[in-house]
Each structure stands twice: as structure tokens, then as C-alpha cells.
Structure 1
Amino acid sequence: MKKTSIALSFSILILLSACTDSGIRGDLDQVLNDTFEAEEEYRKVQDDLEKREKAEQELFADIMALTQEEQDKVAEQAQEALDSADERLAFLKIEKESMQLAEEKLAEMDQVIEDAEDESVKSDVQALKAKMQERFTAHADFVVAYEKLVGHQKELYEMLKDEESKLQTLQEQATEVNEQNNVVQQAVTKFNDLTKQVNELKDNTLEKLTDS
């Protein structure tokens, strides 16, 4: 059976320290930092989630190396994989809630846009907000894809526990896992790309405000 790759890599949104300047620059800095701080729980669970993914991947490889005569051990390790999948979903829930909180903080930027008198500044901040919203939407899409992936993986682990499962059925389920994993990786790439775009746009916007 083809081994699936489930490790994810996320870029972290790096923001500047809070600025004490008054005016639009200071207000925008505050909103950005509020958003960044709201993502703290998301950042905290990344290491734990990655460790579970790697350990589960190794466990899956071990299961595939066992013979039919070792079904008891297969069932035991498949249950371990199921427990690990549930732990990943718990970490994902924390991550999801953290990002949702950060998205709510983004609404604070509407006041910054409203207060901006310079149309160029207003346009820049609106573009930044739109790109940040696009990033949050991409993360929400990732969550949906990842939950579906874990669902397919859990179905596969359940099949492995059942000694009556046919090899063809296992192979078909593994194919579904691999196909959904590709969807997840595409979602990760899109999220990382948008994170880079947000950082670039944020830096350019703050630089303009500093020079103005």
C-alpha cells in the first residue's frame, strides 16, 4: 500500500511590534497585532500536530510491514492510529477556533479604513484587509479538506482492524486517502502563498504610512 504523506508546513504571519504613534499608522498596527495575538493558539498547536502526523505515518508503515498472521498486532496498532487521528482532530479544532477569533479581530480594520482621510491610504488598507480575509478563507478551506482526509484515514484504520477486509478494498481506500491528501497539500500551499502576500502587503502599507 502506498504510504501517505500527511505532514503539513505552515508559514506564520509575522507582524511588527505595537507602535505608539498616533493616527492611522498606530491604529493599523494595533489591529494587526490584535489579529496576530488571536492566532497564538493556532501557532502553539503546530508542533504537536506535526509530531502526531509523523508518528502516525511511521505507525502506518509499521502496520503495512506486518503479515496476515500478525492480525492481532495489526488491530492493536490500527487502534493506536485511530486514537492518533482523533488527537489530530482535537488539535485542529483548537487551530480552527484560534483562526476564527483572529478573523473576528479583522473587523476592527473597518474603523481604520473609515478614519483614513487620504484615499490612497484608504485604498491600501482596504486591499490589505481583503488579502487577510482571503487568507482566513483559505485556512477555512484547509480545515474542511483536512477533516475529510482524517475521515478517510480513520476508515482505512477501521478496515485494517477487520481481518475480513479485502486487499482490493484496502487499496481503494488508500487511493482515496492519497487523493484527499493531495487536496490538503494544495490547500496548504495556497494558505502559505497568501500568508506571504499578506506579509508583503502589510510591510508595504506600513512603510507608506511611515513615509507619509
Structure 2
Amino acid sequence: MSIIRITRIILAVVISGFLLTGCNSNEYSTEKLYQVLENVVDAEKEFEEQQEPLVELERQEKEIYNEIMTLGMKQHEKIVTLSDEALSIIEKRKNHLQLEIDSINASKTEFKKAEEIISNIKDSEQKDKAEDLSKIMKKRYQLHNRLSKEYSSALDRDKELYLMLKEESISYDKLEAQVADLNSTYQKVLDANEEFNDLTAQYNEKKLKFYKESGLNLNDEK
């Protein structure tokens, strides 16, 4: 089993001063878009809060797995106890994953409000940049869907492994095949996670650039 430590980059919070001066329709659309995009960040607060506990649970499970690997089959009772601890951790990871998924779904619902606003932006250059932002975010949502499915699949395979380890007569070949399958699944998770982080970083950068070029008076960025 590989070391996982799957950390996800979060959306940047951008704080604006009293937004725009003037009241033409393009400025109004930009201000409304700013409000929606920052509401999207708020919707992902729950997503953000899952990252640290998930990494910690992954670390704990890795330690348990390593300890099991140092034990011989004569210490089967100890292996069973440790496997049960790992199974409990897997359930906790599933719970955190579901909270993460729910948060991303809430973000997606909020982001849909941006599409109508973008369609009302009159300045063609600003509109193109806003549409580019929208495309990146939609890809990000699609990628998180793939990522969460791969992660869920990895958790199922984790569970299968520890159930196997609890069997007193499990063969080495079966365990080896399960670990190979598990490592392959986690590689897919890592690959999807890297793509997700790249898209999040792109989105954060382009969002800030869009704000600045739209004339927003930015006070701070977190």
C-alpha cells in the first residue's frame, strides 16, 4: 500500500472594498458575479474543513497497516484487533468524503447562478474571461466527481484488504493481488487529485485577474 496523503487545494477568498463606482449594466453584472463567486467559496467551506482530518486519518491507517505488516500469523489476534481499528478509520474517511461531496454539490448549485450573470456582461473581453472562468470551474466539478468516485473505490478496496487480513487462512497470493489492486486504485486517485489541484489553482489565478481587470477595488486575498 502506498502512502497517500491526498491534499486538495481550496478556492481562494478575495475580499473587495466597496466594489465598483458607477452604475452601468456591465459594472452591475461584474459586481453581481463577484458576489456569486465568493458565495461559491463560502459553499466550499465544508469541503475545506474535511482536508485536515482526512489526511490525519490516512496517516493513522498507514501506521496501522505498517504495524500489521511487521506481525506474523502467530499474532493473528493482534492483526484482527488492528484490522478492526483500520476498518473503523475507513468508515470515518467515508463520512468525511461524503461531507466533501455535499459541499462541492452546494458549490455547484451556487455557481449555476453565475451563468446567467455572465450572459449579461456587455464588454466582450470581460465576457470571454468570465466564460473561461466558468469552463474551468465546470471541468473542476467534473474532475471532483471522478476523484470522489476513485477515492470511494479505494476505500472499498481498503476495507476488503482488512477483512482479508482478519482471515486466519488467507493466502499470501490473494493478499498480494489485493494490495496491487489497491495501489493501482490509489494511483488513479493521486492522478485525479493532481488534475483537480491544477484546475483549482488555475481558477483562483484567473478569478483574481478577472476581478482586477474588471475594476474591483480589492482589499485582500486569503
TM-score (norm 1): 0.95
Could you give the per-residue CA deviations for residues 69-116 of structure 1, whole angstroms, max 9, x where no partner exists? 100010111111111111100000000000110011111112321221
Aligned counterpart, 2:190? 185
CA RMSD of aligned residues (A): 1.3
Q: Which residue of 1 aligns with 2:203?
A: 198
User: What residue in structure 2 maps to residue 111 of structure 1?
Assistant: 116
Distance across 2 between alignment mates of 1:210 and 1:147: 43
**Corresponding residue of 1:12:** 10
Corresponding position: 1:63 with 2:68: yes
**Is 1:167 aligned to residue 172 of structure 2?**
yes
| Cα-to-partner distance string for 1:153-190 (whole Å, 9 max, x where unaligned) | 11000000001100110000000011111000001100
CA contact (8 A) 2:30 2:121 kept: no
- One-letter code of the match for 2:51? Q
CA–CA distance in structure 2, aligned partners of residues 107 and 77 of structure 1: 45
* DSSP-derived class of the 1:17 partner: strand
- TM-score, length-scaled by structure 2: 0.90
Percent identity over the alignment is 27
SS of the residue aligned with 2:214?
Answer: helix
- How much does 1:19 deviate? 4.9
Structure 2 gaps, min length 5: 21-27, 217-222
Aligned pair count? 209
Give 4+ residue runs of structure 1 displaced > 6 Å after superposition. none
- Residue identity matched to 1:73: K
Q: Higher relative contact order at CA 8 Å, sep ≥6: structure 1 or structure 2?
A: 2
Shift, 1:18, TM fit: 4.6
